[in-house]
Amino acid sequence: MLELRDVSFGYESTEAVDRITASFGATQLIALTGPNGSGKSTLLKLIARVLAPHAGEIAFDGKRLRDWPAKEYAKQVAYLPQDPDPAFSMRAIDVVVSGRAPFLGRFAWERDSDYDEAAQALALCDVSHLRDRYLDEMSGGERKRVFLARVLAARPRLILLDEPLASLDISHVQQFSALLRDIVNRTGVTVLYATHDLNWAAAYSDRMLVMQHGLLARDATPGEVMQPEVVRELFGFDAEAVRVGTKSWLVPRVAVSSRLSS
């Protein structure tokens, strides 16, 4: 579906993305991880066509991104930045139906069918009850689901999410992570999302990409990434692997030591 070949991009003297090569197929949940400043957000913006590579090539369905008409690409690939809140409050249904914009003609109003798609997207994100509520009346977790529904309303094949778990408490992080897994399973979409939460990414994702100083340092399964020696090398902290059921969780070693001595 998506292929990156030696993609690079820099801001003035800083190389934010350095010779990234990777490919993505259908029906995958892929976590994009790495320390702050490692290039995660820049990579998502390059795929979303917010930025253009300085070198290398990105292709979707075998066609270079620059050859895709903007409206047609928006029907296939949806992007949700870190802070998508509009300048003024809107009802949930109005936020979500705005995701149908790529399917509307110039100066055209939304049709009943567009509102039907929006309602289905709200239901898929388990927020149908928020349909007529305004954004400023919602919790952070509720707003995240509404904006995810906006992305889904266009029925894209690839969804790009920049830090969708940021600012959520642990309960909502778990719920939102499970929601992403469910959406991939039920719709067949591929989701590529940036996150710092290694444990929840590993618990639900099919694949983890780890960036470091603009480079793709690791592209592997969650089980391969969630090893204490790998985490020490790529993220710079000591961790202990704790097995819970079929999942392996990482706990900072100091916390494990303190718990065992208490």
pLDDT digits (tens, 9 = 90+) for 49-98: 999 999 999 999 999 999 999 999 999 999 999 877 665 688 999 999 99
Mean pLDDT value across the chain: 88
pLDDT at residue 218, rounded to an integer: 94
pLDDT digits (tens, 9 = 90+) for 146-176: 999 999 999 999 999 999 988 888 888 999 9
Pick 105 or 222 by higher pLDDT: 222
Does residue 245 surpass a pLDDT of 70? no
Question: Smallest Cα–Cα separation from 134: which of 160, 162, 101, 95?
Answer: 95
pLDDT at residue 246, rounded to an integer: 67
pLDDT digits (tens, 9 = 90+) for 194-228: 999 888 898 999 999 999 999 999 999 998 888 88
Q: Which residues contact 80 (CB under 8 A, 6 or more apart)?
A: 147, 148, 150, 151, 159, 160, 161, 162, 164
pLDDT band of 256, cuts 50, 70, 90: very low
pLDDT at residue 112, rounded to an integer: 87
Domain boundaries of the chain, sorted by first residue = 2-226, 227-262
The contacts found for 203-206 with CB under 8 angstroms, 24 or more apart, are 203/177, 203/247, 203/249, 204/29, 204/177, 204/178, 204/180, 205/29, 205/30, 205/31, 205/181, 206/28, 206/29, 206/30
According to CATH, what is the number of the domain 2-226? Answer: 3.40.50.300
pLDDT at residue 249, rounded to an integer: 73
pTM for this model (two decimals): 0.88
Mean pLDDT of 115-136: 93
Mean pLDDT of 236-250: 72
Q: What percent of the chain has a predicted confidence (pLDDT) above 70?
A: 92
Does residue 257 surpass a pLDDT of 50? no
36 φψ region: left (φ > 0), alpha (ψ -120 to 50), beta (else): beta
